[in-house]
Amino acid sequence: MKPPSSALLLVDPRDSRAREPGRRIARWLAQRGIEVLRARVRARIPELERAGLVIVVGGDGTFLRAARAIGRRKVPMIGVRFGTFGYLAELAPEGWEKGLAALLDGGGTVESWLRLRCRLRRPGGAFRDVGLALNEIVVTAAKVARLVEVGLRIDGEDVTRYRGDGMIVATPIGSTAHSMAAGGPIVDRTDRCLLVTPLASQALTYRPLVLRPNRRVELAVLAGRHGTALTIDGQETLPLADGSVVEVREAEHDLAVASVVERTRFRTIRERLHWGAPLVEES
């Protein structure tokens, strides 16, 4: 990776756990001659135009908001985990200096993480863009414990009709988020595919799908007597009426994420998701 001369520090001001670590990281960067830019995570961040590296301090929610704000820009980003979970952040609260030092010295690589482009067509209307997703697009009943019927179309072909809590279309990086909790497969974060996972389906025959990334997935709301909703990365929720169609495609621009191989993908899954750990510790 090309050594950056400037770094944009994104810290969620609402997260008190990240404020002091953010100040420490800023001082550490300045001592090494790096121009330090600071901004709050919001829809438009003008400071991104001057940044050679984006450092996100906080949890997964902060990382996802920052990814949406970056949009089509190719500036690499890296997360320092100071949130509750922090699965998306590569650097741990202890020892982040080693990882950042490697990036400042030109080490590490830049990974390309597939994202989703979501469009929405309401009844009688035309498709309109509603944003990017790094983890997943979810169509669910608007009220808890209510059913919704969703028709699945792939490349214009009617595939099947799901009846349950909803449907998830996830990315490889999102395969360890909501999709995994619903029984979907775990996919390596740099793979190129789309995941379609039923959410609490009211049938035993429905199974998750793994599709090529160039597929066009449509989720048509057929019936939702108690309301239906579209959620993008858990960050934005839009109400849906019966007859609405949600179109999901591979986004044109990946998210550039800096990596210094602080931990492997499988080590992250073992440590943070307790993959393979016994349910009851042996005495």
Question: Residue 70: its pLDDT value, please?
Answer: 93
**What's residue 233's pLDDT?**
96
Confidence of residue 15 (pLDDT cuts 50, 70, 90): confident
Q: What is the pLDDT of residue 263?
A: 57
Q: Which residues pair with 259 in a beta bridge?
A: 109
- What pLDDT is attached to residue 144? 78
**Which pLDDT score is estimated for 152?**
97
- When comparing pLDDT for 271 and 198, which is higher? 198
Q: How many alpha carbons fall within 13 Å on the CB side of residue 113?
A: 30
155, 216 Cβ separation under 8 angstroms: yes
Statement: residue 133 has pLDDT above 80: yes
Distances (CA, A) of 149 to 66, 127, 137, 161, 203: 33, 21, 16, 7, 12
Per-residue pLDDT, 1: 84
Three-state SS for the chain is CCCCCEEEEEECCCCHHHHHHHHHHHHHHHHCCCEEEEECCCCCCHHHHHCCCEEEEECHHHHHHHHHHHCCCCCCEEEEECCCCCCCCCECCCCHHHHHHHHHCCCCEEEEECCEEEEEECCCCCCEEEEEECCEEEEEECCCCCCEEEEEEECCEEEEEEEEEEEEEECCHHHHCHHHHCCCCCCCCCCCCEEEEEEEECCCCCCCEEECCCCCEEEEEEECCCCEEEEECCCEEEEECCCCEEEEEECCCCEEEEECCCCCHHHHHHHHHCCCCCCCCCC
Least confident residue range of 20-24, 35-39, 80-84, 279-283: 279-283
Using the predicted structure, report yes or no on whether residue 237 has a pLDDT greater than 60: yes
pTM of structure: 0.90
Residue with tokens 């808890």: 144
- Taking all residues of the chain, what is their mean pLDDT, rounded to a whole number? 90
Per-residue pLDDT at 36: 97
Residue 145: the pLDDT is: 74
Q: Give yes or no for residue 40 having a pLDDT over 90.
A: no
CATH entry, 6-113+254-273, from 3.40.309.10, 3.30.1490.100, 3.40.50.10330, 3.30.70.1350: 3.40.50.10330
Architecture label for domain 116-250: Sandwich (2.60)
Structure tokens at 274: 């307790």
What pLDDT is attached to residue 83?
62
Q: How far apart are CA 22 and CA 80, in angstroms?
A: 9
* 188-208 pLDDT tens trace: 999 999 999 999 887 778 899
Active-site position among 12, 15, 60, 254: 60
> Quick one: pLDDT band at residue 17, thresholds 50, 70, 90?
confident
Tell me, yes or no, if 60 is annotated catalytic: yes
Q: Quote the Cα angle for 267-270-273, to 5°.
A: 130
Indicate the domain borders of the chain: 6-113+254-273, 116-250
pLDDT attached to residue 82: 79
What the block records as the tokens of 78 is 């890296």
Residues 252, 254: Cα–Cα separation, whole Å: 7
